Structure 1
Amino acid sequence: MPETTLPRPRRLLLLSVSAGAGHGRAADALHAAAVAEHGAEALHLDVMDYVPAAFRKLYTDFYLRLVEKFPSLWAQLYRITDETPPDAAMARLRRALERLNTRSLRQAIADFAPDAIVCTHFLPAEVLAREQLRVRLHCPVHVQVTDFDLHALWVVPGLAGYFAASDEVAARMRARGLDPSRIHVCGIPIMPAFAQTLDRATCAAEAGLDPQRPILLLMGGGAGVGALDDAARSLLRIEADFQLVALAGRNEDMLARLRTLAAEHPRRLFPQGFTRTIERLMRCADLAIGKPGGLTTSECLAMGLPLLVFAPIPGQEERNCDYLLENGAGLKAVDAVALEYRVRALLADAPRLQRLRDSAVRLGRPHAARDVLRQVFANG
């Protein structure tokens, strides 16, 4: 009998850029869903691993320093680039520099020979759109916007699909001239763990917390950015019975400072470093406090966890914050005084906190990665 040849698994390439953690986390979520739910052969590449060191330093280190040290300057840059026409001289120069510095990436793509590509950052989407125009790339390319806003740089005409976090982002895509038939509202991809049904008491016990007492989750992101110890110190002045879990991420210095503070507040402050099971802490928390990155916002909503936004980055994080406020799933604290005031008020108003939680549940899209891939694989 002739041998039966099994069909080759579909190859999905995911391209992110490590300018902040969110783009990579969205690609990781799509990778996990592609393998688990579609049996695909998936590969996630960080574009910054395929560019010269000088370009990488400019694109990632400079961006992170700018948003942390000079947020007002970043706000202006965000607005200017959003308003710059795509055919302007500076926009053409930017795209030329990107093409010049991503030649190694194009070879890596050719070596993998994907059946479909999803970009979780606009840089590879722009580069590959030109490759398709020059008939040097034949597989469909999609782009996943990773915030609850649409900046002009994400608007890359001619791609196979555009994935929006919300109906408003989709409307902005249409208003900017993208093909409505290729726009899909699926949410922002998050890891499958956020779709699990988890028990609050079990998750609290794992972290050494009392599920009968309110639990606040103070988040500084994977890098532990921001003055978390100052925020924790301010919150601990509140005369109420609650437990504060402070996540320092990979910031060992911040973790040490939080542990010193925790010694002064036994059974109230619980410092933690980087964790890969943040969903379990979110499940037992009553309120999250932190920056509204697109992925963090989506993870909180998927867990039905209200977010008290503190010191958002101008631009995309402010727009994410607006989305939460407009839909009743979060609050904003403009400074430490407002942070302390709002937490005190919420702890004293359980019905209001429950309304915030109900809104978060309504907005959450825990299966966004699955829904995105259904569209990707349905279109080839």
Structure 2
Amino acid sequence: MPEAARPRRVLLLSVSAGAGHGRAAEALAAVATAAFGAQAQHWDVMDYVPSAFRKLYTDFYLRLVDKFPALWAQLYRITDETPPDAATARLRRAVERLNARGLQQAIADYAPDVIICTHFLPAELLARAQQRGRVSCPIHVQVTDFDLHALWVVQDLAGYFAASEEVAARMRARGLPAQRIHVSGIPIMPAFAQPLDRAACAAEAGLDPQRPVLLLMGGGAGVGALDEAAAGLLALEADFQLVALAGRNETMLARLRELAARHPGRLFPQGFTRTIERLMACADLAISKPGGLTTSECLALGLPMIVFAPIPGQEERNCDYLLENGAGLKAVDATALEYRVRALLADPARLAAMRANARRLGRPEAARAVLRQVFA
């Protein structure tokens, strides 16, 4: 094939420290291929580093935020306030570079025309490589939360994509060039931009579209395990259907099915699904942790949220964004969750206002907006 006719090669780089970075990259890859005719690949940077470094970088992070959130909150604040030229910051970057040599060789072999990073680690690594002439294509970075931590501020990249106007303002305040900053929203899969019929989606899940539907997408600190949270909600004297997502946790799914047998027509357990948008489309309220991608998906479909147990730092900021804009409420424990659900179901006008606010904030075409700018 002549060089001029070769599809543009887009490389999406994420890090599997939580699922959101990878989901944003997958969304960009899907839209790049389907809407722009590009050749897109998504790589997890952790597949190109030694296993010991991977375990430290991802497993340690996940354990820290789950078991020691207060310690993570301190680390989040300290790293956000640490100047990039501090000795500790220079040492951290040196260790990362030492462990990521395989990534640079793989990039050289693939020879992409453009790179988009949905995590700050590859952005930092490649910015230095570009300064030294080892990477020649444009590099962009997509922030995947409604906040800006200092680690996302990597100078001399081709473009910076922000989840909101406030994140863009924070980018400018931290010295990134205004002309390279774009407010795109957070990329989500193309399915969230398609019109979805509530009745049809409800019928697929065995739900009655005329009755309220609550979507419970996780348990954890504050509201208890998923089955405990579901049991507490089902004890409320209110007419609603509860869809509880257990993901790939077969043990939890079995517990939920046992609970559902005692609440016929009210509890609908679900395992892992690749069509979460269809469940969201027939829901009136989502109960979930406020990850950047989950939050963006709910907003795209105009689905208000009750958020619980946000991770200190980025998820707390996502929660603040929802509360400040009237698209969500926060439950600090199981009692608060049950109180807020009861109050919203008893006040349809308030719930409708939250839905309108969520839809106003939603950016279902974020991936397309990013790629239009990248390919401009």
Same fold (TM over 0.5): yes
Tell me the residue number matched to 2:49: 51
Aligned partner of 1:77 among 75, 78, 103 = 75
Tell me the residue number matched to 1:144: 142
Distance 1:226 1:16, change over 3 A: farther
Find the aligned partners of 2:372 and 2:64 in 1 and give their Cα distance.
37
Aligned residues between the structures:
373
Find the aligned partners of 2:321 and 2:2 in 1 and give their Cα distance.
53
Tell me the residue number matched to 1:245: 243
Tell me the residue number matched to 1:68: 66
Find the aligned partners of 2:345 and 2:29 in 1 and give their Cα distance.
39
Range with greater deviation from structure 2 (44-53 or 5-14): 5-14
Deviation at 1:5, TM superposition (A): 7.2
Q: Does 1:111 align with 2:83?
A: no
Q: Does 1:260 align with 2:252?
A: no
Tell me the residue number matched to 1:341: 339
Q: Which runs of 5+ in 1 are unaligned?
A: none
SS of 1:135's equivalent in the other structure is coil
Deviation at 1:220, TM superposition (A): 2.0
Find the aligned partners of 2:245 and 2:276 in 1 and give their Cα distance.
9
Deviations 1:55-93 (A, max 9, x none): 000111111111111111111111111011111111111
Tell me the residue number matched to 1:292: 290
Find the aligned partners of 2:2 and 2:102 in 1 and give their Cα distance.
37
Find the aligned partners of 1:314 and 1:273 in 2 and give their Cα distance.
28
SS of 2:5's equivalent in the other structure is coil
Tell me the residue number matched to 2:230: 232
Tell me the residue number matched to 1:277: 275
Q: 8 Å contact 2:224–2:334 — kept in the other structure?
A: no
The alignment's C-alpha RMSD in Å is: 1.3
Tell me the residue number matched to 2:362: 364
Find the aligned partners of 1:7 and 1:205 in 2 and give their Cα distance.
46
Q: Does 1:163 align with 2:161?
A: yes
Q: Which amino acid aligns with 1:292?
A: P
Q: Percent identity?
A: 82
Tell me the residue number matched to 1:7: 5
Q: Which amino acid aligns with 1:329?
A: A
Q: Does 1:95 align with 2:93?
A: yes
Deviations 1:238-263 (A, max 9, x none): 11110000001111111111111111
Q: Which amino acid aligns with 2:88?
A: M
Q: Which amino acid aligns with 1:82?
A: D
Find the aligned partners of 1:13 and 1:66 in 2 and give their Cα distance.
30
SS of 1:143's equivalent in the other structure is strand
Tell me the residue number matched to 2:321: 323
Q: 8 Å contact 1:220–1:226 — kept in the other structure?
A: no
Deviation at 1:183, TM superposition (A): 0.2
Deviation at 1:295, TM superposition (A): 0.1
SS of 1:267's equivalent in the other structure is coil
Range with greater deviation from structure 2 (249-258 or 102-111): 249-258
Tell me the residue number matched to 2:218: 220
Q: 8 Å contact 1:14–1:31 — kept in the other structure?
A: yes
SS of 2:375's equivalent in the other structure is helix
